[in-house]
Amino acid sequence: MTSMTIGRLAAAAGVGVETVRYYQRRGLLAVPMPTHGQVRHYGENAVARLRFIRRAQQLGFSLDEIADLLGLDEHTDRNAARALAKEKLAQIDERMAQLDAMRSALSELVSCCEHTSAAQPCPILHTLAHPDEDQNAAYSKSIAAG
């Protein structure tokens, strides 16, 4: 097994040293005992763990959710892992629906802005300044009509 310092560990996993320390404070990565004075040495298992954390983050898992995943055994906890992944998928689907609604609303505002005369207030800024939905719907319709 290769022994490495925190700097080499961070470089091998593609993260910063402060990220390694943060994960240690969060309990996601063990802090090894110093071997030579104050120098701590890490093995390949630490690199694998850091890479696991980074891949899970890329899939959208939070550090709390990653802690749960790290507590599972890949041979015996398939159902628990699947449940966590399904929950994450549901959260992603919900966020995508929210983003789609945001995109539609913004697209409508941009279109309205393009077709509003210069004498009228900017629909985008007006909507942001006056967030009452009924007022904005009526405003948009009145601009579109005339």
Write out pLDDT tens, residues 35-58. 777 788 899 999 999 999 999 999
Q: How many domains does the chain have?
A: 1
Residue 119 domain flag = no
Residue 86 domain flag = no
Alpha-carbon span 103 to 93, nearest angstrom: 15
Alpha-carbon span 11 to 103, nearest angstrom: 38
Residue 45 domain flag = yes
Residue 141 domain flag = no
Report the predicted TM-score, pTM, of the whole model to 2 decimal places: 0.75
Residue 131 domain flag = no
Residue 11 domain flag = yes
Please report, in tens digits, the pLDDT of each residue of the chain (146 residues total): 578 999 999 999 999 999 999 999 999 999 988 877 778 889 999 999 999 999 999 999 999 999 999 999 999 999 999 999 999 999 999 999 999 999 999 999 999 888 888 888 888 998 899 887 554 554 555 555 54
Strands (E), 2-145: 34-36, 39-40
Place of tokens 């298992």: 45
Residue 50 domain flag = yes
Place of tokens 């071997």: 35
- Hey, is 139 helix, strand or coil? helix
- Hey, is 61 helix, strand or coil? coil
* Domain hosting residue 41, numbered range: 1-63
